[in-house]
Copies of this chain bind each other. A is one copy, B any other.
Amino acid sequence: MKIAVLGTGMVGRTLAGRLTRLGHEVRVGTRDVATTLARTDPDGMGNPPYPQWARRHPEVALTTFTEAVADADLVVNATHGEASIAALTAAGERHLAGKVLLDTANPLDFSQGFPPRLLVADTDSLGERIQAAFPELKVVKALNTLTAELMVNPEAVAAGEHTVFVAGNDSEAKATVTGLLESFGHTDVIDLGDLTGARGTEMLLPLWLRLMGTLDTPMFQFRIVR
């Protein structure tokens, strides 16, 4: 598939790298290509600047949001939750119409320091807000409940025996995303139904953040045993 990954942070890079290795044609979208390529300092999370990653992944093109999505078959939202709607707006509603969006973002506010606060809860979700802003987009919430490395390499913990979730209003779009997750190695993908299911997975973040502190690693996962 031709896949647009919006966002140049660790989630975007990790997904772009894995998707490329799986044979997809990947474009990473950013607000301003020149600015992203001029970065020399680590980002707010301490990750190396994008150009350092890009040099090791010459097959991944860096483009504007619009160029990334224009002829993509599938779009991945790997931006910060606070920036997601602006990024999609910059990509252009007409380029997004009818496409599947795999939304990995969480509505977290880091402005008050760590841990970040959840900006939306219970009666709404970032996934639904994106869907409301872009009615023609087929939003599927997924992969927002685990660290980037485990998104694409589930075997790295508990031999991959853990759970990921999909929620969305379009069954075909969910099937496409589920297929992608399975291609990463996920074996337990639970379909939570329509996009209101995103509320529960986004609200998992406060516990996830707490567990990361308690366990002193982001390399853990939720497994739904039944």
| Chain A residues engaging chain B, CB cutoff 8 angstroms | 117-118, 121-123, 157-158, 161-162, 190-193, 197, 199-201, 203-204, 206-211, 213-215, 217, 219-226
A220 and B224 within 8 A (CB): yes
Q: Which of B197, B207, B209, B225 contacts A162 (CB 8 A)?
A: B225
Q: Which residues of B contact A217 (CB under 8 A)?
A: 226
Please give the count of copies of this chain that the complex contains.
Answer: 2
A222 and B219 within 8 A (CB): no
A207 and B214 within 8 A (CB): no
Contact A219-B226, Cβ < 8 Å, known A200-B207, A206-B122, A210-B192? yes
Q: Which residues of B contact A209 (CB under 8 A)?
A: 200
- A197-B118 Cα distance, complex, nearest whole Å: 14
Contact A210-B226, Cβ < 8 Å, known A121-B118, A122-B118? no
- A225-B155 Cα distance, complex, nearest whole Å: 12
A145 to chain B, nearest CB (A): 9
Write the chain B residue with the least CB distance to A190.
B214
Contact A207-B201, Cβ < 8 Å, known A161-B225, A222-B224? yes
- A117-B122, A223-B224 known; 14 other A-B pairs, CB under 8 Å? A118-B203, A122-B206, A157-B225, A158-B226, A161-B225, A190-B214, A193-B210, A200-B211, A201-B207, A215-B226, A220-B226, A221-B225, A221-B226, A222-B223
A193 and B214 within 8 A (CB): yes
B206 and A203 within 8 A (CB): yes
Closest 9 CB pairs of A and B: A200-B207, A158-B225, A220-B226, A121-B121, A200-B206, A203-B203, A223-B223, A118-B122, A200-B210
Q: Which residues of B contact A118 (CB under 8 A)?
A: 121-122, 203
- A193-B193 Cα distance, complex, nearest whole Å: 33
